[in-house]
């Protein structure tokens, strides 16, 4: 199949939304920007054998490479709108391409994000996706806005994906008591980008980041950017039923340090908290896990024991 036919068949999607002037098929995409908005954009690359095992099915690759980009846009409080796809393929495998493009389209449609362009080359399998979104001028959620006394919140549950990675990649057999292994594996391969949550919390949050490298690691980015510290109540970390089925201390360690959760971690000024709680309507998938302190760069637990500080990690 010629490259042109491949693009036409798999990556030229119908019904571009109204903000798209020119989509796939010309030398570049043309996108309409509203004057009261700012463009928010993020890119990530996934290389076979590096970021996912060689035999990962196309639906897992396509889901994760779009989802992690959507998660970055969500962490800015922005709304995803368009994306481009740079695809490097070792060969033209129409079954693979069919499954890949179908799944990609489905996930993109769920978040009203439209494929507007890309590039296709031959080589070892690699996928780069760049998502573009918009946000009202000056309203994006930054890492640098946390203030002393702010409450620390997180969406969803933590540590599931890290357990999933242990199960899949390392065939770790220390999880005999773990209930629902499949759940953890799905959390690793099919992260849910918290796009709706990002848009909702934007009105109340003072800072935000998505948890890709582990709670303590990503929290420390907020702390460094905001020049503050934090106290985390480890007994209030949100754990899935699956993680609750393993030894408590182990589960808490995974929740604090496990990567790939793609949940949102954000801070709320106590003055905005009651309005925030009203807006989320007692939704239990948002959990308060601690508060911001003046101990710059340091994270302690509920007993004031050091969990992490710049250059020191209790879990290393």
Please report, as ranges, the residues that interact with Mg ion according to CB under 5 A. 119
* CA gap 17, 13 in Å, rounded: 11
CA-wise closest residue to 209 among 273, 262, 137, 270:
262
* Residue number with CB closer to ligand ADP (13 or 175): 13
* Distance in Å, CB of 189 to ligand ADP, minimum: 22
* Residue number with CB closer to Mg ion (119 or 174): 119
Residue nearest to Mg ion (CB): 119
Region for residue 203 given its phi and psi (left: phi exceeds 0; alpha: psi -120 to 50; beta: otherwise):
alpha
Q: Which residues of 172-206 are buried (b: 16+ CB within 10 A; e: fewer)?
A: eeebeebeeeebbbbbbbebbbbbebbbbbbebbb
* Distance in Å, CB of 116 to ligand ADP, minimum: 7
Residues 6+ apart with CB under 8 A from 229: 223, 292, 293, 294, 295, 296, 297, 298, 299, 300
* Residue number with CB closer to ligand ADP (107 or 167): 107
**Where on the chain is the footprint of ligand ADP (CB under 6 A)?**
7, 11, 24-27, 85, 87, 115, 117-120
* Distance in Å, CB of 116 to Mg ion, minimum: 14
* Contact partner at residue 118 from Mg ion, ligand ADP, none, CB < 5 to 8 Å by partner kind: ligand ADP
* Contact partner at residue 262 from ligand ADP, Mg ion, none, CB < 5 to 8 Å by partner kind: none
* Contact partner at residue 27 from Mg ion, ligand ADP, none, CB < 5 to 8 Å by partner kind: ligand ADP
* Distance in Å, CB of 121 to ligand ADP, minimum: 9
* Distance in Å, CB of 78 to ligand ADP, minimum: 22
């Amino acid at each position: 199949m010629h490259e042109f036919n491949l693009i036409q068949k798999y990556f030229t999607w119908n019904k571009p939304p109204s903000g798209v002037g020119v989509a796939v098929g010309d030398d570049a995409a043309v996108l309409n920007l509203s004057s009261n908005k700012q463009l928010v954009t993020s890119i990530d690359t996934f290389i076979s054998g590096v970021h996912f095992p060689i035999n990962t099915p196309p639906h897992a690759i396509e889901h994760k490479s779009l989802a992690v980009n959507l998660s970055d846009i969500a962490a800015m409080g922005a709304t995803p709108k368009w994306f481009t796809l740079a695809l490097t393929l070792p060969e033209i495998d129409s079954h693979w391409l069919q499954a890949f493009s179908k799944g990609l389209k489905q996930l993109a449609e769920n978040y009203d994000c439209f494929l507007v362009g890309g590039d296709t080359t031959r080589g070892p399998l690699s996928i780069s996706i760049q998502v573009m979104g918009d946000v009202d001028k000056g309203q994006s959620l930054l890492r640098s806005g946390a203030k002393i006394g702010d409450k620390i919140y997180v969406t969803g549950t933590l540590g599931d994906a890290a357990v999933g990675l242990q199960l899949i990649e390392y065939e770790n057999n220390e999880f005999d008591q773990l209930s629902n292994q499949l759940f953890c594996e799905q959390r690793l391969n099919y992260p849910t980008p918290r796009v709706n949550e990002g848009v909702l919390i934007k009105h109340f949050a003072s800072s935000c980041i998505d948890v890709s490298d582990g709670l303590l690691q990503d929290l420390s980015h907020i702390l460094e950017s905001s020049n503050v510290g934090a106290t985390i109540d480890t007994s209030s970390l949100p754990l899935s039923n699956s993680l609750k089925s393993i030894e408590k201390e182990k589960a808490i360690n995974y929740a604090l340090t496990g990567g790939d959760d793609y949940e949102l971690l954000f801070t709320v000024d106590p003055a905005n908290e009651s309005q925030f709680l009203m807006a989320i309507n007692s939704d239990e998938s948002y959990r308060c896990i601690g508060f911001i302190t003046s101990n710059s760069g340091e994270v302690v637990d509920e007993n004031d024991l050091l969990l992490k500080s710049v250059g020191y990690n209790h879990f290393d």
